Amino acid sequence: MVNYISTRNTNIKVSSSKAILDGQAPDGGLYIPDDLNSIKLDYHDVIKYDFNGMAKVIWNIFFPDYGEDLINDLVERSYKNKFSNEQTTPLEKVGKDYVLELYYGPTAAFKDVALSALPNLLTTAKDLNSFQDEILILTATSGDTGSAALYGFSDVPGTSIIVFFPEGGISETQRLQMVTASGANTYACAIKGNFDDAQSGVKEIFNNIPKPVSGVSLSSANSINIGRLVPQIVYYFSAYRQLLEGGYISDGSKVNFIVPTGNFGDMMAGYFALQMGLPINKLICASNNNDVLTEFFETGHYNRKRPFHKTTSPSMDILVSSNLERLLYYICGPENTANYMKLLAETGEYQINTDELTQLKKIFVGISASDKEGSECIGNIYKNENYLMDTHTAIAWSCLEQFKDKAWAYSNNNEETEYANVVLSTASPYKFCHEVLTAIGAELKFSDESNMQKCQEITGVPIPSGLADVFSKEIRHSKVISTEDMQQYVIDCAKTIGE
Ligand SMILES: *Cc1c(COP(=O)(O)O)cnc(C)c1O
C-alpha cells in the first residue's frame, strides 16, 4: 500500500490523505510514493475502462487510505458535467501525429483535469484526518492554475483560496477569468513580479506561517500537491486507449509523449504512468525560450541564473521547475536531492553526476522552441491540416518537429522504430486568441473579446462556453501588491476567514 515520503527525507512518511492535506512535506521537500513497485500494474486493467473508470483504478492505487467506495464516489463527483467532450480528454490525429486535447474543462486549460478533483480530495482528506481548521489554499499561478483553482474551490465548504498572479505576465482573458471569479471564499491578487517571484513568495509563506491565525491552516493547489498530480496520470492512459481504439497502434507498442512544460507537473504524471507500466518510449520535455530544463536534460546542469523571458506561452515561463525535485528523488535518491535543492536555493544552480544523467537520458529528452517557431507551427498546421492549436501546444509541436529531425540522436540502440507521437494540448486556442490570430495571418481586432469572435468566424472552432462570458462578468478582485506584502495579505485574509 502506497505511503508518501519527502523527497529529502524518507523518515517523513504519511498516508495519501495526509500528504494531500499538507501539500508540501514539513522539511520543504515534496511528497512522493514511497515505493514505485507498489504502483505497477498491467495497463490493460486500466485502459479497458472509460475516463472515469481509469481514474478510479489509478486513484485507488495512489490514494489507498480513502478506500474504494469513497474514491469511486469522488471520481464521479469530480468529473460529472464538468467536461464538454464525452471522452473528457479526446485524442485527434493531426497529420502523422496525435494531439491529446486536455482543455474541455470549465476554464479551458488542462489544469481543470486536476483542479476538478483536488477540492474533493482535500475536503475528504480533512474528514479522514479529523482536521478541524479551515483550509486556506495558497496558489501562485503563471496563468491557468489560478482560474482553474478559483473555479474548483469556489464555495467549497471548509476552504478558501488565494491566487497570486504576476501583474502583466498573463493574457487579458486569463486575467479576466481570475478577477471575475465568483465564490464568497475566493481571493485573486496581482503581484508586482513574475511567476517565480509569486511562487517563491508562496513557498516562504508556507515555511513562515503554516497557520496564519488560529483555526486556519494553509495548503496548496499548485502541482507540488500530490493530489493535483495523480489525476493527471489518467489522461496518459486515456491517450493510449484512444490510440488503440483508433487502430493507430498495435497493443504493446511504445508511444512518445511531447509535453509543454513549466513546473514539470504534467511530465511527472507521465513518469508515473511509465512506472505503472504504460508502454512509453520517450517523455519529451518541451520548453519555450525559458529553456532551463532543455539545458538540464542535455547536460545535467540546472541553472536558474539566466534571463527570464516573457513569451507568448506564459504558462511555461518558469525558471524554477518545482516538480523536477520529484524526479530527482527517483534518479538521485534523497541525500543528493536534498543537496541539489540546497545548492539551487543558495547558489542558483546544481550539477547532477554522470550516472544520474545517463539514467535520465534513457527516458527524457529536453527540447526548446522560440515564440517565432511556435507561431510558425500554428500557421502551418492550420493551413496544411486545418487544425487550430494554442501557443503552448505549438511549442510542443515545434519541439516534436525538431525531435523527428534528429530522432536518431535519441534512440537507445539505433533501432529504426517509428513510434506514435502524442502532443499534449494544454489550452484552448481561445485563451491566447491574439497570438493565434496573428499566427494564422488574420487581422487583429481591438479587444480579446472581438478577437475571439473573429477567430470563431474564421476557423469555425466554437468558443468554449467558460471563456465566452468573462467579458461581461463583474470584476470582483482588483488588488495589486508588491511581493514583500504577500505575507501580510495572507494574514489579513486568514483573519477574515477565521472570524
Ligand atoms: C500549466 C501549464 C503548462 C505547464 O504545465 P506543468 O505541469 O506546470 O509543467 C503548460 N501549458 C499550459 C497551457 C498550462 O496552463
Q: Which helix (H) or strand (E) holds 373?
A: helix 371-385
- Which atom belonging to ligand 1 lies closest to the Cα atom of 268? 7
Cβ atoms within 10 Å, residue 148: 30
Which residues sit with their C-beta closer than 6 Å to ligand 1?
109, 111, 144, 223, 260-266, 315-316, 392, 426-427
CB 4 within 8 A of CB 14: yes
**Which three cell numbers mark 481?**
501588491
The CATH T-level fold of domain 91-107+227-471 is Rossmann fold (3.40.50)
| Active-site annotation holder among 111, 126, 203, 282 | 111
Give the integer Cα–Cα distance in Å for 70 and 65: 10
Q: What is the pLDDT of residues 291-334, one digit of tens each?
A: 999 999 999 999 999 999 989 998 898 899 999 999 999 999 99
pLDDT for 417 equals 64
Q: 366: which strand partners?
A: 285
Question: What does the pLDDT read at residue 412?
Answer: 60
- List, for residues 254-281, the tens digit of each pLDDT value: 999 999 999 999 999 999 999 999 999 9
Candidates 283, 291, 279; CA nearest to 252 is 279
Q: Helix 118-128 vs helix 226-245: angle between axes, to the nearest 10 degrees? A: 130
Do residues 393 and 426 make contact, with C-beta atoms less than 8 angstroms apart?
yes
Region of poorest pLDDT, from 28-32, 267-271, 415-419: 415-419
Q: Which atom of ligand 1 is nearest to the CA of 144?
A: 15
Residue of 316, 320, 322 with the most ligand 1 atoms within 8 Å of its CB, for mutation: 316
One-letter amino acid at 400 equals L
- Ligand 1 centre to CA of 144 (Å) is 8
CA of 291 to the centre of ligand 1 (A): 14
Q: Is 83 helix (H, G, I), strand (E, B) or coil?
A: coil
Residue 99 pairs in a beta bridge with 92, 423
Q: Which three cell numbers stand for residue 321?
A: 521547475
Residue 356 has pLDDT above 60, yes or no: yes
The verdict on whether 111 is a catalytic residue reads yes
pLDDT score of 124 more than 70? yes
Distance 497 CA to ligand 1 centre (A): 30
Q: Give the tens place of pLDDT for each residue, 231-254.
A: 999 999 999 999 999 999 999 999
For the chain, the average pLDDT equals 94
What length does the chain have?
A: 499
Residue 120 has which C-alpha cell? 474533493
If one residue of 258, 368, 426 were mutated to test the ligand 1 pocket, choosing by the most ligand atoms within 8 A of its CB, it would be 426
The Cα–Cα gap between 20 and 402 comes to 38
Please check whether residue 149 is in contact with residue 136, taking contact to mean a CB–CB distance below 8 angstroms.
no
pTM, two decimal places: 0.94
Kindly state the greatest CA–CA separation across the chain: 65
Cα 285 to Cα 428: distance, rounded to the nearest angstrom: 20
Residue whose CB lies within 8 A of the most ligand 1 atoms, among 236, 290, 392, for a mutation test: 392
Q: Which of 34-38, 40-44, 141-145, 261-265 has the lowest mean pLDDT?
A: 141-145
